[in-house]
Amino acid sequence: MVEPLLIQYQVLSEQRLHFGRLYWQSVAFLFALLLASLAILPGTNWVPLDLLGYALGGITILMGFVVDRVRKLEGQYEDRLEAIEKALQSKGHIDIQIAPKAGKYGARFVVTLGLYLLGAAIILLAVLSPGLPLGQSAM
């Protein structure tokens, strides 16, 4: 007979891995978007620099919120997996080990905080350089 907790553990583990990949894919997508914007838009006069800064800064802050939510979901899955591991141990499965958890203030927390700070910095640059056409500097 198959242990239902093992099936549940496998399903939750796959979902946790999905959220882990989604976290880094979201960060990579944001940086691809920022780099593409900086590569394409300076040669055009479509958008003033301050408006572009507000948009890119806002998008960066919003992506910080999204990845923070994904990070928290992944943490919830870690908690559920740990509960299953403990339940299996209590049922006499002595070979089951408790997997280490990422922790509340690990690398993903720092990256998420960095996204919030990067978004705020981009907006601050836009505030400090109002009305400049794209491609010109304040100096």
Q: What is the reported pTM?
A: 0.80
- Tokens standing for 97? 């080990």
Is the distance from CB of 12 to CB of 80 less than 8 angstroms?
A: yes
Report pLDDT for 1.
Answer: 53
Report pLDDT for 134.
Answer: 47
Residues of the chain with pLDDT under 50: 134-135, 139
Is the distance from CB of 132 to CB of 50 less than 8 angstroms?
A: yes
